[in-house]
Amino acid sequence: MPVFLKNLLKDPKFDAAAIIVLWLAYVIGENFRLEPIQFHLIPFRPPLQVPVSEVVIGAIIFGCLATLAVQYYWRRRRSSKPISESVTAPASSSTVA
């Protein structure tokens, strides 16, 4: 096995990403049906009929976009705080020379 692949497989981020990608492929593959499901969004209106695969793919896209938006606003809020003055460490009472 090449050294590149050995190091890649030892990385826990790669393992987690591989598990997530394989799980998403399984979910989309198992739910890829053309039979529509019915959403009753508005009372007294006919329900919307949407294929299951579109619901799953839409949920994945929404989740990714929501996660990116939260991360963006979280980082922006943290970076907009003024930099506090550096605090000097308290003098040590240790007498060890």
Let me know if residue 24 belongs to a domain: yes
Let me know if residue 85 belongs to a domain: no
Q: Is residue 83 very low, low, confident or very high in pLDDT (cuts 50, 70, 90)?
A: low
The pTM (predicted TM-score) of the whole model is 0.50
Q: What percentage of the chain has pLDDT greater than the value 90?
A: 12
Domain of residue 43, residue span: 3-80
Let me know if residue 19 belongs to a domain: yes
Let me know if residue 30 belongs to a domain: yes
Let me know if residue 87 belongs to a domain: no
Q: Which residues of 36-67 are buried (b: 16+ CB within 10 A; e: fewer)?
A: eeeeeeeeeeeeeeeebbeebbeeeeeeeeee
Let me know if residue 26 belongs to a domain: yes
Domain count, the chain: 1
Strands (E), 11-87: 36-39, 48-51
Let me know if residue 52 belongs to a domain: yes
Q: What pLDDT is stored for residue 92 in this prediction?
A: 60
Q: What pLDDT is stored for residue 14 in this prediction?
A: 73
